[in-house]
Chain A
Amino acid sequence: MNYLTSIGALPLLGALLISTLPKSKANYAKWVALLTSIVVALLGLLIALRFEIDRPGFQFVENYSWIPSFGINYSLGIDGIALVLILMSVILVPIVIVAGWHESEGGRWGSKSFYVLILILETMMIGVFAATDVFLFYVFFEAMLIPVYFLIGGYGVGERAAAAVKFLLYSLFGGLLMLAAIIGIYVISGHQGGHTFDIEKLSQLTIDSTTQNFLFLGFFIAFAIKAPLWPLHTWLPDAAKSATPGTSVLLLGVLDKVGTFGMIRYCIKLFPESSKTFTPVIIVLALISILYGAFLAIGQKDIKGLIAFTSISHFGFITMGIFAMTTQGHSGATLYMVNHGFSTAALFLVAGWISTRRGSSIIADFGGLQRVTPVLAWTFFIAGLSSLALPGLSSFVSEFLVLVGTYTRYPVAAVIGTLGIVLAALYILIPVQKALHGPITPGNENLPDITRRERIAIAPVIAVIIFLGFYPKPLLDVINPASIATLTAAGFSDPVPPAGGR
């Protein structure tokens, strides 16, 4: 059975089914979408169960010739890193659908289009993580922009059109650079044993260092826009403020991870020498992102903008972990991608519910919510604690792994990065105090507390956050071999502790 094609094609089928619904049955669209996404999630779990932890290399490999004259193949395959990211994506989609049950109503188009877009996006998300052909990856990478563009521009709030265009332009610019680099490496492959886009074959090429540096930058800048690294981040806050909460979850939780995923899968795997060359610069950029994102988050007046900037800080941690080039750094960064997905989901969803009730996402408009909507308030608080990486919640494990993995190679960077945990306490506790504590701000007295549907959506997210905080082993067990494989192939080994011997 072609598991990966199946899981990727299922959402498309669902989208097709929805688009054939007659106008009179348009309200079935969300049910079809929900059902499809649940089946996809179950299939994702099945794939995870059948994944063999100890087997090196890609699994569930599929390989078909697509455009033979160019050496382009339809090839899929996943390692542990891709597996956990796909798993996170397919679990988040049904949650987003349930959480934003009425999100499609304020849109420019009907709810049918909304769910078609969501499901198409899901296909793209799976494809981008599962592709092992660079060309195929590029197609998914670019095509992914289309549904997101329409989701922001068509269903968002505020200046949604401007935000959508900004997002698209930024991404296209990055995509263009990557395209150039892809063509470049393709040309080189032609000189060394035949044209190919196969990631494994491409990683065997010998490329002189100048060319390698250019190609590396082509990929890296595209990824640094996607998982926004300072100073390429300014599209994210605008997009997050304008998008619906559900879209924001998919955007920040899943799509942006393609950037950090790409750094591991493409930048380091294809260009290990250049990765080494650029590491100092990237670590500095990552550190700036960590602190800059945190300071900007503290200064935000809009809760959605705040969450967006905390994410920029978190992406800084992930990038730093990746380029520390240690097992702890890599596994920590990958786990961080998953954990950030869930904790950002929790933050965005609850913030979205509260904002919708109040008709405003300005933090100062809230106050005393702990008395009015206690369950929503406590849920937001727990999500916030996860964002500030409280030990016992999932983000702590990944953040600490990143820091400890960085320290063993770049102690100064780790020390500076650790200062971020103080800022994290501020950027979470300041909005918590303003929105949840204090006297009840006029206009908030009668806000309704969490509904049953919202409970159903948020409960699994909180459960994952707590469970992975205490028991991250199931994920780490599949991530570790992939991290070790990446680093070994790129020629890195962990520093040896001076007093480690018995």
Chain B
Amino acid sequence: MTSNNLVYLVALPLFSSGFLMILGRRADKWGHIFATLISASAFGIGAFEFLQMLARPSESRAVTQKLFSWISVGTFQVDASLLLDQLSISFVLLITGVGTLIHIYSIAYMSHDLDRRRFFAFLNFFIAAMLLLVLGDSYLNLYVGWEGVGLASYLLIGFWNQKPEYATAAKKAFVANRVGDVGLSLAIMIAFATFGTVSFSGVEEKVSGASTAALTGIGLMLLLAAAGKSAQFPLQSWLGDAMAGPTPVSALIHAATMVTAGVYLIARSNFIFDNAPTAQLCVVIIGAITLMFGALIGTAKDDIKKALAASTMSQIGYMILATGLGPVGYAFAIMHLLTHGFFKAGMFLGAGSVMHGMDDEVNMRKYGGLGKFMPITAITFGLGYLAIIGVPPFAGFYSKDKIIETAFNAEGIKGLLIGSAALLGALVTAFYMTRVIILTFTGAKRWDEKAHPHESPFLMWGPMAILAIGSVASGFLLSSGNRFVSWLAPVVNSHEADHAEHVERFQPVVVTSMALVAVVIGVAIAIVKYRSQVPRVAPTNVRFFTRIARRDLLQDDFNEVVLMRPGQALTKFLVATDEKAIDGAVRTVGAVVIGSSKGIRKTQTGFVRSYALLILLGAFGLLATIWVVTL
């Protein structure tokens, strides 16, 4: 099936973005409204396509649109072509839906910023790139969107780049992403060398003819790409710093959509990973490490946005973990991605609302008792909180529980290990999120006299309320009657049989009970620990673990010692070598030649003429030689 509407999904926000940039200050008055309407119309198109898709039987739901032949060299044929199927529409609705809400929120949030129009141009650009990422029908088309969202992220993290540390944070994010891009580039190269094509359908069709080594190679490189974009171990360190961007950006890009692109990439490449068990195992390991890593960092952060960022890292760890669990895992990964999109975006907007009312203060130790002053923010944030820690019947309960259950039921010792990691992660999540709630909304006030906390305007709390509804209902809606799993089944090739053949080591009710116990323990520890007076300044006489958790488990120290310092030293060394050794050698040769030809030089008067003469002599010399050899 083909559709003619897909291109507008990408083109509308792309042109709007360019339009607002080129018009410049002339568009300052209405640029934000315009961009919001564009985003909303993209959502409209997405919804329309979704309804059309629902009307078709499940095996013919995918539609494509070929735009033009993009790169065509020999057998390397790549069309600019879009694909909308059950997987991509899930993302389209999330991106445009949450995206539009965040546009609306930003109208108020950014109202005092001189560059609001530029902010909205960037937001529109992000929407376009992210839609291209999920709509591209080949790895190379995906790559364009992939780097596009990286650029948008760079621009928005550094939106206030007059502050040097914000500019540095933006650069760090881009470079870490580029490391991931090396993976994506190599994956595409291996795919082309192996299959002679880089389109999803082409690779899927030919996958059975490929060697395991090639598939493992592609899988590992895709995992590297996913680690860069989705802030997974060992490329996770940029995400915390990315909180330098305006809070709506943190909500949209660094929580709900862009950082989940790695999950999309792995789910989209299910045909690779299902045939490359080693790569799949690595996916699981990276996911498990990151979910613990993020959760542990989250326990030590006093900056509300950084605490939420650590949580995002951890939650994406859950999703990556799930994508490594084979056909059954993909749907749960994407389901958690969607519910997370609601509750985490909602909480970030809530954090923004708190900052809005507290003169941009981000230190939770200087909050306290804000629930009274910002009731709507507190309630919407609270609903998101209940969703993320996994209290039934809120959204996260359904999606995270499924992941823990599937992890436990993976075969062998692997299942026990990753299941335990996921369960422990749930406990830690409950702890650090409860800590955020207590420090921010309850207890005694710890803020300065000059702060006047107040509730945010409707344009801000409206989107928060809608996202809160999603945090409440989306889990149930997606999982009841196995709805989302069967929706996604044609894309990820999962069948009812996959579920049946698994050994149900743990009954669902057992896993759920364990998870709930973990949550209760986590909440209880937090309450006990933070119930009493919280110091306004973070205590320094803390345990070793807390100290390194505050330093993001030494991720930056590691990068600095292992990569940055040696890199800088190498650069310095090479610059010196180039001037002294290489150019020096050249100059020595020159000096020797000039020295030995002093006699000849005396007959010349100046540089210019002597070299002109040299050229002339050369030409004559050539003619003379030719004459000699032709004699």
Contact = CB atoms under 8 A, between A and B. Distances in A.
Interface string B59-75: 00000000011111111
Interface residues of A, number: 96
A334 to B, nearest CB: 10
A102 B186 CA distance: 46
Contacts of B140: 400
Contact of B171 (A135, A300, A424, A429): A429
Given A392-B148, A438-B161, A498-B210, A231 B71 contact: no
Interface stretch (B174-182, B296-304, B404-412): B174-182
Interface string B608-631: 100110110011011101110110
A290 interface: no
B162 A438 contact: yes
A153 interface: yes
Given A234-B586, A415-B186, A480-B74, A439 B164 contact: yes
Contacts of B151: 385, 390
A327 B74 contact: yes
Interface in B168-196: 168, 171, 174-175, 178-179, 181-182, 185-186, 188-190, 192-196
Contacts of A195: 626, 630
Q: Is the interface of B mostly helix, strand, loop or mixed?
A: helix
Interface stretch (A31-39, A74-82, A172-180): A172-180
B360 interface: no
A48 interface: no
B54 interface: no
Interface in A108-166: 135, 138-139, 142-143, 145-146, 149-150, 153, 161, 165-166
A371 B163 CA distance: 12
A437 B182 contact: no
A160 to B, nearest CB: 12
B65 to A, nearest CB: 16
Contacts of B611: 149, 165, 168, 172
Contacts of B608: 149-150, 153
A298 B162 contact: no
Contacts of A190: 629-630
A292 B574 contact: yes
A415 B168 CA distance: 28
Interface stretch (B526-534, B546-554, B575-583): B575-583
A404 B190 CA distance: 8
B514 interface: no
A418 B196 contact: no
Interface in B189-226: 189-190, 192-197, 205-207, 209-211, 214
A494 B614 CA distance: 45
A484 interface: yes
A438 B161 CA distance: 6
Interface stretch (A198-206, A267-275, A345-353, A471-479): A471-479
A231 B584 CA distance: 12
A150 B140 CA distance: 45
A476 B74 CA distance: 10
Contacts of A407: 186, 189-190, 192-193
Summarize A's interface: helix, strand, loop or mixed.
helix
A473 B189 contact: no
Given A234-B586, A425-B178, A502-B206, A437 B192 contact: no
Contacts of A219: none
Contact of A470 (B80, B185, B194): B80
Interface residues of B, number: 77
A67 to B, nearest CB: 8
B607 interface: yes
B590 interface: yes
Given A70-B627, A299-B574, A439-B162, A403 B185 contact: yes
A33 B186 CA distance: 47
A438 B158 CA distance: 10
A362 interface: no
A296 interface: yes
A421 to B, nearest CB: 6
Interface in A360-378: 368, 370-371, 374, 378
B161 A370 contact: yes
Interface string A375-416: 000100000010000111000110011011101100100110
A425 B190 CA distance: 23
A426 interface: yes
Interface string B247-277: 0000000000000000000000000000000
A1 B312 CA distance: 68
A313 interface: no
B571 A298 contact: yes
Given A392-B144, A439-B164, A498-B194, A234 B578 contact: yes
A414 B192 CA distance: 13
A296 B619 contact: no
B68 to A, nearest CB: 7
Output the residue of A169, A401, A483 with the most chain B CB within 10 A: A169
Contacts of B24: 374
Contacts of B466: none
A418 B186 contact: yes
Nearest to B146: A391
A5 interface: no
B452 interface: no
B192 A403 contact: no
A186 interface: yes
B216 to A, nearest CB: 14
A307 to B, nearest CB: 16
A498 B143 CA distance: 24
A384 to B, nearest CB: 11
A175 B617 CA distance: 13
A187 B631 CA distance: 11
Given A146-B615, A391-B143, A499-B195, A476 B72 contact: yes
Contacts of B586: 170, 234
A24 interface: no
Interface in A403-450: 403-405, 407-408, 411, 414-415, 418-419, 421-422, 424-426, 429-430, 433, 436-439
A295 interface: yes
A210 interface: no
A300 B205 CA distance: 48
Nearest to A169: B590
A489 B422 CA distance: 60
Interface in B45-93: 68-76, 80
B505 interface: no
A289 B12 CA distance: 41
Contacts of A419: 182
A399 B521 CA distance: 54
Nearest to A135: B622
Contact of B73 (A135, A328, A421): A328
B167 interface: yes
Q: Which 7 pairs, one residue from A and one from B, show the smallest C-beta to C-beta distance?
A: A327-B74, A499-B209, A500-B196, A497-B196, A437-B167, A407-B189, A299-B575
11 contacts: A139-B619, A145-B615, A146-B615, A183-B626, A327-B75, A328-B76, A400-B185, A404-B192, A473-B70, A480-B74, A501-B209
Given A422-B182, A497-B75, 18 more contacts: A70-B626, A135-B622, A143-B615, A153-B608, A176-B618, A299-B571, A299-B575, A391-B143, A407-B189, A418-B186, A421-B185, A426-B175, A433-B168, A438-B164, A476-B72, A477-B72, A499-B210, A500-B194
Interface of A: 67, 69-70, 135, 138-139, 142-143, 145-146, 149-150, 153, 161, 165-166, 168-170, 172, 175-176, 179, 182-183, 186-187, 190, 195, 231, 233-234, 292, 295-296, 298-300, 326-328, 331-332, 368, 370-371, 374, 378, 385, 390-392, 396-397, 400-401, 403-405, 407-408, 411, 414-415, 418-419, 421-422, 424-426, 429-430, 433, 436-439, 470-473, 476-477, 480, 483-484, 494-502
